[in-house]
Amino acid sequence: MKKFIEDSILIQKYSPTLGGVFLFSELATLFAESHKTATYRRIAHLESAGTLHRFIKGIYVTQQFDAQVLSQKICPESYVSFGNILAEHLIIGILPRNQIDAFKLGRSKTYVGPSWTVRHLGSVDHLLFGYETIRGIRKATPEKALLDTLYFHQHGIQFPFDVYNDVNWGYINQEKFLLYLQQYKNPKFVEFAKGMMCAAT
């Protein structure tokens, strides 16, 4: 019982710093526990109390957690993009509900947890650009988030907003948009993206 109380205090103390997202290794360090079995047992007690919830293997979240931190910890090489970034910059008025979309290299993968879905959409390495790190989180610029959205839309990915009617192009830096577009090798996509910009401006 004493360890459970101490562990609960530790979670409460470090949750703001870690965005409410804990790797198994971080919990083992917090608990100063060298044995995996003992660490799992202490985590299980916190889960039973509702203090922690297992999102996927090796990653636990608190009741209130930062989904962008979660996405980054699942795949540190990814960056948050698509509707999440467009909504942050008021380019769309619809915030994707309980879903984080991020760009990664390789195959796409979706992680479904108790209250959130993390969707990592995968592509080729020459398209991994146009992001910045803000408070430890990789985030696409608005222009790259829009290009990512249009690119994956053309590949059949659905988004919770209308790419043709819901995008406010007034908040997009067209010069940067066209500069980024030079990195895309598919002429059909380049024509599509330019056409979208011209039709909206």
pLDDT per residue, tens digit, the chain (201 aa), is: 678 889 999 999 999 999 999 999 999 999 998 899 999 999 999 999 999 999 999 999 999 999 999 999 999 999 999 999 999 999 999 776 899 999 999 999 999 988 899 999 999 999 999 999 999 999 999 999 999 999 999 999 999 999 999 999 999 999 999 999 999 999 999 999 999 999 987
Cα separation, 105 vs 136, in Å, equals 19
- What gap in Å lies between CA 132 and CA 145, rounded to an integer? 12
Q: Pick the last residue of a domain from 61, 89, 112.
A: 61
pLDDT at 94: 79
Query: Which CATH number characterizes residue 26's domain?
Result: 1.10.10
Domain boundary among 31, 61, 91: 61
Q: Are residues 9 and 52 both part of a single domain?
A: yes
Do 78 and 115 sit in the same domain of this protein? yes
Identity of the amino acid at 32: A
Q: Can you give the pLDDT at residue 165? A: 94
Structural domain total, the chain: 2
For 56, the domain range is: 2-61
Q: Is the domain of 31 the same as that of 123?
A: no
Same domain, 187 and 91: yes
> Strands 99-105 and 117-123: what pairing?
parallel
Residues 124 and 45 reside in one and the same domain: no
Specify whether 17 is located in the same domain as 92. no
Final residue in a domain of this structure, among 43, 61, 79: 61
Say if residue 41 is in the same domain as residue 96.
no
Closest CA to 77 of 120, 119, 16, 112: 120
Q: Are residues 160 and 73 in the same domain?
A: yes
Q: In what order do the strands lie in the sheet with 59-61?
A: 21-23, 59-61, 53-56
pLDDT value, residue 33: 86
